[in-house]
């Protein structure tokens, strides 16, 4: 059960870590495929991609949350509550990125 709880916390943190850097315009890694350069910036321009930086933020957040929960001695929360929270955060990510995608159409 401890593994499942750590994984659910990791998924929740991953979804927040993937959504927040773009929404809050936090500095992240950006790759410009034409210039073949990598930079640490909050504002991307042209064809530069911030996907790799956002993914790095999300992975770090997910791994940190899972590690903290794995080593925690706090009383466990019900799995159903954690599952609902993780799925709600993933749905929030999907809705946000679909709204940005469909707004451009």
For residue range 27-57, list pLDDT tens digits in order. Answer: 999 999 998 999 998 888 888 888 889 999 9
For residue 31, give both structure tokens: 């790759």
pLDDT at site 59:
96
Burial 61-92 (b: 16+ CB within 10 A, else e): bbeebbeebeeeeeeeeeeeebeebbeebbee
What pLDDT, on a 0 to 100 scale, did the predictor assign at position 105?
65
Q: In terms of Cα–Cα distance, which of 28, 26, 29, 13 is closest to 93?
A: 13
CA pseudo-torsion sign 79, 83, 84, 85: positive
Q: What is the residue-level pLDDT of the chain in tens, covering all 105 positions?
A: 888 889 999 999 999 999 898 888 889 999 999 989 999 988 888 888 888 899 999 999 999 999 999 998 888 778 888 899 899 999 988 898 888 888 876
Confidence (pLDDT) at 1: 82
75: which 2 tokens?
A: 């009383």
pLDDT of 57:
94
Domain ranges, residue 23: 2-103
Q: Cα(18)–Cα(12) distance, rounded to whole angstroms?
A: 10
Q: Structurally, how many domains does the chain consist of? A: 1
Q: What is the DSSP letter of 39?
A: E
């Amino acid at each position: 059960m401890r593994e499942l709880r750590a994984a659910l916390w990791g998924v929740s943190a991953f979804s927040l870590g993937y959504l927040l850097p773009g929404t809050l315009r936090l500095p992240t890694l950006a790759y410009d495929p034409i210039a073949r350069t990598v930079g640490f910036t909050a504002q991307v321009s042209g064809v530069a991609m911030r996907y790799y930086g956002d993914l790095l933020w999300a992975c770090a957040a997910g791994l940190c949350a899972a590690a903290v929960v794995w080593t925690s001695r706090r009383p466990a929360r019900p799995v159903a509550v954690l599952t609902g929270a993780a799925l709600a955060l993933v749905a929030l990510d999907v809705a946000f990125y679909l709204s940005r995608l469909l707004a451009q159409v």
